[in-house]
Amino acid sequence: MNFSSNQSIYLQIADFVKEQILLNRWKKEDKIPSVRDLAVELQVNPNTVMRSYDLLQQQGILYNRRGLGNYVSADAGDRILADRKEYFKQSELPVLFRTMLLLGVSFDEMERLYKNYMNENLKTK
């Protein structure tokens, strides 16, 4: 994993875990890698992974079974999607709308571009 200097590493690891869940690599109620195993895989300090796991537990995405490890919550995917949608609406859409305004891009043109994008990307999967 290549870490960015724009965000704390523990937050990037939390995003990585969320992505694994959204990609269905780690399914609900699955046991996830131990703190040490993920630290070795990502080449980070175990304390950093522990901090990420603690954050994800606070968010209700993971839960701990004492002595057994960390598991994906039953509603983790729904929680992650809801959080990401809200972030998108609050942070990314205003930037997109401002850019559309400045460049004179209409919603009709945007819809065409979106449909083309979806057609191209659905073919490759």
pLDDT in tens, 4-46: 889 999 999 999 999 999 999 999 999 999 999 999 999 999 9
Q: What per-residue confidence (pLDDT) applies to 124?
A: 56
Amino acid letter, 98? R
pLDDT digits (tens, 9 = 90+) for 97-110: 999 999 999 999 99
State the burial class of residue 3 (Cβ atoms within 10 Å of its Cβ: 0-12, 13-18, 19+): middle
State the DSSP code for 31. Answer: B
* Percent of the chain clearing pLDDT 90 (strictly above): 91
| Cα 84 off chain centre by | 7
Amino acid in position 63:
Y
Residue with tokens 């809200």: 86
